[in-house]
Every structure is written in structure tokens, then in C-alpha cells.
Structure 1
Amino acid sequence: MGTGNGTALKSRETQYQFEVDLALRDGFSRFGIMSNQTWKDDPRRLVFLLSRYKFVAKMLTGQKRVVEVGCADAFGTRLVVQAGCTVTATDFDPLFLDDAKKRMAADGWACDTLVHDILSGPIAPGGFDAAYSLDVFEHIVPEQEDVYVGNIAKSLSADGVAIIGSPSLQSQAYASPPSKEGHVNCKDGNEYRQVMLRHFKNVFLFSMNDEVVHTGYHPMAHYLLAMCVGPR
């Protein structure tokens, strides 16, 4: 990056020069495989995705031994790491994890990664203080939803907390065809809570519309976030 004649770029406003210098020194960060497609085809959705990660980061700030279940390209994981959490990012697809690790190294931040299918069993049983899993539940067939939630619960310590997020059943009337193809298990708020209560002693259910998380009427929620405390 330069002017073409070997002269470094200079901003007309000196307070922005450090940003120019950073780009000259370190190059530009890039999107992950999945976040790249989202930015190209539906950039607003990336705002919603990062808002979900921000909610997780705020709720789990400072927690040690945190596991993410189904991180995909781990584009939002950095927000949770920024909140002081020691994160192990897991996914069953090594392609996405390899991409995530390359970006972490290039950008000067990192977290542990692990290839793991949560349907095959818990991750280090009892080894984590907190877990979160966003946009995974809806891809799990109903016959295996208890295996999925149960294995997350079994990955936690006795007083552990989990945040599990999924599009609502009501949102599917507005979902794109590619989304509908993979969404095999969307539920309304009451059904969603009942699944979580089979595996956790306490469940606090939040609604989400666009980037706003609230405690409003669940049938009008586009997205559901369940904060689950105390594995059974």
C-alpha cells in the first residue's frame, strides 16, 4: 500500500494517521468464509450476527473456560475474547476452523480451536464454566435436539451457564430459501424454553429483533436467546 512513488500515504487529518500507519504496517483484516458471503449478499445480517455475539460477550464478560459450540468461521468469536473470556471455539467442519486459525494468526489474536461434533458427546465433560452456541439449534433435527442441548450441559461445571440462540418459528415466514433449507427445527418461545428446561435448572428467555435484544412478546421475536443456568 502506497502512493506509487514510494511515498507513504498521509492523512489530511493527523488524528487518523495511526489508522493509515496500521494498514501500511499490518495490511488489512479479512472476512471469514461465511462472513464474507454475508457481507456481499446481505450486509445487514452481519450487524445482527455481531449483535448476538455482543450479547454473549456482555453476559459472559471475564468468564474463564468458555466453549463455543458451532463457531463456523469464528468471525464473531473475537468479541467474546475481547471481553476477557478464555474461549475454545469448536465446530464439526475443519474447513471453517482452518480458515479461522489463519485469520487469527494474521490479525494478532487467537483462541483455542477444536474440531468436535457436539452430537457425538460433550466437550471435556464438566470442564467449562460457560458455553454458547448461536445459529446451531435450528440445524439439529428434533430427534437429536436433546442430545445437542444435553451434551452442552454436560460440558459445563455444576454451576455453569449456557447461552443458546436460534431463529424463532415465527421468523421462518420471512426467511430466505437458502435459510429455510437448513432450518429444520425452529420453535416458538415456549417450546424452546421447554427443551432447555429438560437440561438446565433455570432458563431466562430473551427476544431479539434485528440487533435489539429485549424481554418482549416471544411470538413477535425474530430470534430467541436462552440463557440457561445450572446443568441438571
Structure 2
Amino acid sequence: MDEATTKEPQYQEHITLGQTKGLTQLGFRANATWHQDPRRLLFVLSRYKFVSKMLSGKQKVLEVGCGDAFATRIVLQEVGSICAIDFDPVFVDHVNEQMEDPWTFDCRVHDMLSGPVEGGFDAAYSLDVIEHIPKEDECTFVNNIAQSLSENGVLIVGAPSIQSQVYASEGSKQGHINCKDQKELKALMQNYFFNVFMFSMNDEVVHTGFHPMAHYLFALCVGRK
């Protein structure tokens, strides 16, 4: 196929990239979001951008519950390396099949309820996962993440608030079995970390405003107990 010529020359490299390397595919979950609710993809990417800036400069980072890992490279831009885990081999196999240079990272199957990930990571993050963990297993889940960290490791946990579930889709509600408000999430994290800093998020905006009106919550945890 002959390469089309753009009217503005600065865009020609975009055509060349597309025709030589191909167009990037969305991950399974990102693809479904793009088809069902395109704005939500912006919100998800914004969550990863927040994590990337909070963890900027960290050398060894663990992502817990990566799913299709479509947004993982946003964090990879700011850190030395990432080990991304998920308990579902369907997603992990897809991630490894789609991975491309220079955005490569370790992606493996691991159920965090089964135990920590060895390696002494200096940071970890888990977005849109803890609300899927049964309440009776949440302490095991958080403790195993904490035990995957070095002594001075940092953890960021992000999840939709319990208040947001009034507006959640039926599909989301099926999986969201353990949503919390800000105080509950903070209290859980304080069992395993000396310092827990809470942030709220509405759409793509992170803030410290009135948490009962927040759609999404972040817990930034420092100082493992």
C-alpha cells in the first residue's frame, strides 16, 4: 500500500508509523469502555496519571490487578520498572501477546490472596481492584501487598466510593462487592501503614474536597507497619 501524503508535513511521520508498525490495539477492557462509554476511558487514564506522578522516580513498582494493562505504560513513563500481576490468565496472556518495545514490563499471573510477590518493591499500586475483593479477604489482600514492599515502600489504592454505586452500571455492580467510603478505606489501610493520605476524585479531577460527594477515592499509604 502506497503511503498517503499529508497536507501538513509534520503529520507524515504519523502515517509512516501507522503503516510500518501498525495501529495500537486497545486492551480487552479498554476496548469495551471505548465502545460503551468513551468518557470513562479518560477517567481511567487520569487515575493512572495520578499514580505516575505520585510514584515518579521509584525504581521497582508492583501493579496489583492489572487487567488488560492498557494504561500501565503511563506509570512506566515515570518509574524504572513495573511488575504487573493479575489473577486471570486470560488478561495476562493478552498483555504479553500485545506488549511492544519500548513499553515492555514483567506481567505474570498471581493471586494476591495467595501470598506476597517476592522482590521487595519500593512502591505498589492497585486501581479498581479492592472493591472486587470479598470483605472477609480484604485484610489478607492488603497485608500481602504490604509484605511485597520494602520497609519504606509506598502503596496507592484507588477504588470507586460507596456513594458512587447509585450511578454504577449493572455490570459494575456485579463485581463491586466491597465498596467503601473514605473513612472506611483509610481505616483499613491504617492497619498496615503508619501514614495514610486520602484524596477524592470526580471525573478526571483529583482533589481533597468533601469526600461523600467523591465518585472515586485514593489512599496514599506510607510507612509499612
RMSD of aligned alpha carbons: 1.0
- Give the TM-score normalised by structure 2: 0.97
Q: 2:91: which partner in 1? A: 96
1:190 Cα offset (Å): 0.6
Q: Does 1:74 align with 2:81?
A: no
Classify the secondary structure of the residue corresponding to 2:42. Answer: helix
Q: Does 1:27 align with 2:22?
A: yes
Q: 2:44: which partner in 1? A: 49
Q: 1:17: which partner in 2? A: 12
Classify the secondary structure of the residue corresponding to 1:185. Answer: coil
Classify the secondary structure of the residue corresponding to 2:99. Answer: helix
Q: What are the ranges of 5 or more consecutive residues in structure 2 without an aligned counterpart?
A: none
Aligned residue identity for 1:39? W
1:82 Cα offset (Å): 1.2
Aligned positions, number: 225
CA contact (8 A) 1:68 1:131 kept: yes
Residues in 1 aligned to 2:18 and 2:87: alpha-carbon distance in whole angstroms:
34
Q: Following superposition of structure 1 onto structure 2, how do residues 121-200 of structure 1 map, counting pairs within 5 Å? A: 121-124=115-118, 127-200=120-193
Deviations 1:174-231 (A, max 9, x none): 1011101110101111111000000111000000000101111111100000000011
Residues in 2 aligned to 1:26 and 1:76: alpha-carbon distance in whole angstroms:
20
Aligned residue identity for 2:192? H
CA contact (8 A) 2:61 2:79 kept: no
CA contact (8 A) 1:81 1:87 kept: yes
Q: 2:58: which partner in 1? A: 63
Matched residues, percent identical?
A: 57
CA contact (8 A) 2:135 2:178 kept: yes
CA contact (8 A) 1:60 1:85 kept: no
Aligned residue identity for 1:224? L
Q: 1:120: which partner in 2? A: 114
Greater radius of gyration (CA): 1
Residues in 1 aligned to 2:186 and 2:145: alpha-carbon distance in whole angstroms:
15
| Shift >6 Å, 4+ stretches | none
Q: Which of 195, 217, 221 is residue 202 of structure 1 equivalent to?
A: 195
Classify the secondary structure of the residue corresponding to 1:109. Answer: coil
